[in-house]
A and B are shown apart, each in its own frame.
Chain A
Amino acid sequence: MVGMAARVLVVEDDPASAEMLSIALRQAGFETAVVGEGTKVMPALRELKPDLVLLDLMLPGMSGIDVCKAIRAESDVPVVMLTARSDTVDVVLGLESGADDYMVKPPKTQELVARLRARLRRIDGDPAEQLTIGDLAIDVPGHRVSRDGTPISLTPLEFELLLALARKPRQVFTREVLLEQVWGYRHAADTRLVNVHVQRLRSKVERDPEHPEVVLTVRGIGYKAGTA
């Protein structure tokens, strides 16, 4: 939030809820725009170029999952889902459609704000920081990942997840630690989030996602970086 306030696109069909979300987010220093229908999300996204999308999963017209897929097809903008359903199937479906994070309704305002800020946070580091993980090269200030010179496109969240692992190659990260570092959770929470995103990350960076070499599973504990 250097200079300009971050723009959040709130996608919510319930007018009262949408209004209250806007008020709370503006109070926290965000700029907001509200869209009430799934079909109007993409035009709004192109027009407003928000820094983040807060997406209600249950929408008339077009389901939140489809909206999320449509967003991902065009943009790497962070998407935080707001869902009334905490069933695993719904949550995993939402995350697999490309959402970075999710919150179950009703969210606590403070926590919602903290999560949104975590998604908007700029990764800072040494301007020349270059890392390797497995056979991948990471250009930290440039937000670029490449294998043998071929760039691999990652969302900011996936990049951050990979970076967390790469920065401490010898450390085994529990899911809880990753939730705290990458997602900004202050309390232990839903580790499915980590599982889903590790899978998404693997599908992009691994040569064979069935036999991962970049992000390794440590049975019973969590994940660690693969060695080159």
Chain B
Amino acid sequence: MTSLAGRATDQLRPVTEAAGELTAMFGALWRRSLKVRVVSSTVALSSTVVLVLGMVLQAQLAERLIENKTQAALLQAENSRILVESELGAVDPTSASLAGRLTTAVDRLTNPDPTGTGPATASAGAYEPVLVDGGDPSGVVGTGQKIGPLEDVPAVLRSAVERGALAHKITTVQRGSTAMIMLAVGMPVASAGRTMQLYLLFPLTAEQRTLTLVQSTLVLGGLVLLVLIAGIASLVTRQVVVPVRQAAEVAERFADGHLEERMPVVGEDEMARLGTSFNEMAASIQRQIRQLEEFGELQRGFTSDVSHELRTPLTTVRMAADLLYESRDKLHPVLHRPVELLVSELDRFETLLADLLEISRLDAGVAELHGETVDLRATVANAVASVRAVADRAGTAVELDLPDDEVLAEVDPRRVERILRNLLTNALDHGEGHPVQVIVAADSDAVAVLVRDHGIGLQPGQQDLVFTRFWRGDPSRDRRTGGTGLGLSISLEDARLHGGWLQAWGAPGKGSAFRLTLPRGRDIELTGSPLPLGFPGASPGSGPPVQGPPVPAGPGR
């Protein structure tokens, strides 16, 4: 049983699947197209209305037809009764000649008097008469003599008539192989002796034909009406949908950056109002964007001007300070230290100025990336070499872990080197003399450099803060490299400019790690990094590495 049922479901599966697909397709169409929705709901609602209307109409017609027929039949029956009674007036139902007289009476009914005095059959149509000597209300039992198809007269009608009433009923009669609907009218007729029963069977064929014709006309008319309604709904919806679609296209192009895109406004209807408001909005957005662009231009110009205006006097001061420093032996000993301070603070001033200019360039979005294919190992080596002096002064070893194969990537080597320099000076500043590790790794899509120190580390939540401008982890600490507080922010922007990530990890007392991940090419989207962010094992017993949250430059950006 189960296997059979299983087979049945198996066989049904393609069907159900196809049905499911169809439903899904229609569902999608339903969701996406206003037109489909409007047309189908209009058609559904109108079909209900047309169906109900058609049914009511048909029922009314049928009722009226039957009513007319019944009226005519009753009239006919009355005429027939008079005719038959006149024939049977002298007949004794008990006589042997009864059968002959009955036949004569019925013959009078079916073959009416050629003079025109016979029963009018025109209004009620043809009929089959049945004359029976049945029972009589007084309790006399008839002989059962009959003329005509008595078996076609329904029993209910017969019993009613035998009780002396005029009655009629619609019945289905089997004639040969076809069933016929007939209206049977029955009434008692008086004979010389006792009451007999006359039944007239009127076929309803003509009425049925009429009804069928009306029905098919109604169905056809309904279908035509539905098609017309569907067409009209579609046309009307089109009038609304087409401008909406145009509006959507215009809005899409606008969103793509074609700020001069406007909607055509025709007339004064709702669509025109939509168009007008859209155009006003577009104009306002365009104006604001232009303004922002102008501000950007201004900022760029301002940056450049500040750069020049500050740097020229700074050149003079710088060279004067250098000259003083070179000839400090000739100066009064009291001035030695001030001159040293002058020179070193000028260095800081310069770095700060350069960093400020760089970050304002990055903010203004005017920083350019000059990509070239380089071996990242060389870039790392250069960065390490540039901080060698600082590392030596701090007594910190910098351990390099480079792959044997070349690590080619299309990057801006100046920016990458700057990022690495910033990460290295940061590690030297906070490494407390413990060795700093630099690890390089690559996969098919990305290259990564991890700079790991084992110093004071980061407090929970500081992973985000380290990239904040002018943020300092511990204000009380001495600054070996005199960082400006902008280095990591610039590095983050530089990483972003490459489409790369710069992420921080750290734990209190366990040091911190900064991981730079860059795509190998400009059109590669980063999905992961070839290096894990916490570098396990670098610090014994440091526990599992904590994956820092994807800080601002993370995959989400």
Q: Which residues of A contact B (CB under 8 A)?
A: 14, 16-17, 19-21, 23-24, 27, 58, 82, 84-89, 104-110, 174, 176, 187-188, 190-192, 195, 219-221
Query: Is B71 engaged at the interface, CB distance under 8 Å to the other chain?
Result: no
Given contacts A14-B312, A84-B312, A87-B361, contact A109 B319 (CB under 8 A): yes
Contacts of B406 in A (CB 8 A): 220
Contact with A along B309-348 (1 / 0, CB 8 A): 0011111111110110010000000000000000000100
Can you sample 12 A-B contacts with CB below 8 Å? A17-B316, A20-B315, A24-B322, A24-B323, A27-B326, A84-B307, A87-B361, A88-B368, A107-B318, A190-B414, A220-B375, A220-B406
CA distance A99 to B291 in the complex (A): 37
Docked-complex contact B312 and A17, CB < 8 angstroms:
yes
Contacts of B308 in A (CB 8 A): 58, 84-85
Contact with A along B349-370 (1 / 0, CB 8 A): 0100010010001000000101
CA distance A107 to B319 in the complex (A): 8
CA distance A23 to B316 in the complex (A): 10
Band of interface residues on B: 35 or more
Docked-complex contact B386 and A20, CB < 8 angstroms:
no
Given contacts A17-B313, A20-B319, A84-B308, contact A106 B413 (CB under 8 A): no
Docked-complex contact A220 and B408, CB < 8 angstroms:
yes
Docked-complex contact B318 and A89, CB < 8 angstroms:
no
Docked-complex contact B323 and A105, CB < 8 angstroms:
no
Contacts of B319 in A (CB 8 A): 20-21, 23-24, 106-107, 109
Query: Is B284 engaged at the interface, CB distance under 8 Å to the other chain?
Result: no
Contacts of A88 in B (CB 8 A): 368, 370
Q: Which of B316, B350, B370, B375 has the most CB of A within 10 A?
A: B316
Contacts of B322 in A (CB 8 A): 24, 108-110
| Known contacts A21-B319, A190-B414, A220-B374; 15 further A-B pairs (Cβ under 8 A) | A19-B316, A24-B322, A24-B323, A27-B323, A89-B368, A105-B315, A106-B346, A107-B318, A107-B319, A108-B318, A109-B323, A188-B386, A192-B414, A219-B408, A221-B375
Contacts of A16 in B (CB 8 A): 313, 316
**Closest CB of chain A to B370's CB: distance in Å?**
6
Docked-complex contact B378 and A174, CB < 8 angstroms:
yes
Query: Is B373 engaged at the interface, CB distance under 8 Å to the other chain?
Result: yes
- Closest B residue, CB atoms, query A24: B319
Contacts of A20 in B (CB 8 A): 315-316, 319-320
Contacts of A86 in B (CB 8 A): 307, 354, 357
**Closest CB of chain B to A21's CB: distance in Å?**
7
Query: Is B382 engaged at the interface, CB distance under 8 Å to the other chain?
Result: yes
- Closest B residue, CB atoms, query A109: B322
Contacts of B373 in A (CB 8 A): 219-220
Contacts of B56 in A (CB 8 A): none
- Closest A residue, CB atoms, query B375: A220
Contacts of B414 in A (CB 8 A): 190-192
Query: Is B15 engaged at the interface, CB distance under 8 Å to the other chain?
Result: no
Interface residues of B in 19-74 (CB under 8 A from A): none
Complex A-B, nearest 5 residue pairs according to Cβ-Cβ distance, in ascending order: A109-B322, A106-B318, A84-B308, A106-B315, A105-B311
Contacts of A110 in B (CB 8 A): 322
CA distance A174 to B413 in the complex (A): 13
- Closest B residue, CB atoms, query A174: B378
Query: Is B385 engaged at the interface, CB distance under 8 Å to the other chain?
Result: yes
CA distance A190 to B312 in the complex (A): 21
**Closest CB of chain B to A30's CB: distance in Å?**
13
Contacts of B311 in A (CB 8 A): 84, 104-106
**Closest CB of chain B to A33's CB: distance in Å?**
17
Docked-complex contact A23 and B323, CB < 8 angstroms:
yes
Docked-complex contact A191 and B413, CB < 8 angstroms:
yes
CA distance A204 to B313 in the complex (A): 39
- Closest A residue, CB atoms, query B414: A190
Contacts of B361 in A (CB 8 A): 87
- Closest B residue, CB atoms, query A25: B319
Query: Is B103 engaged at the interface, CB distance under 8 Å to the other chain?
Result: no
Contacts of A187 in B (CB 8 A): 386
Interface residues of B in 175-216 (CB under 8 A from A): none
Docked-complex contact B315 and A192, CB < 8 angstroms:
no
CA distance A220 to B315 in the complex (A): 36
Contacts of A174 in B (CB 8 A): 378
**Closest CB of chain B to A93's CB: distance in Å?**
13
CA distance A88 to B307 in the complex (A): 14
Query: Is B542 engaged at the interface, CB distance under 8 Å to the other chain?
Result: no
Contacts of A105 in B (CB 8 A): 311-312, 314-315
Docked-complex contact B312 and A176, CB < 8 angstroms:
no
Contacts of B320 in A (CB 8 A): 20
CA distance A106 to B315 in the complex (A): 4
Q: Which of A14, A17, A106, A176 has the most CB of B within 10 A?
A: A106
Contacts of A221 in B (CB 8 A): 375, 378
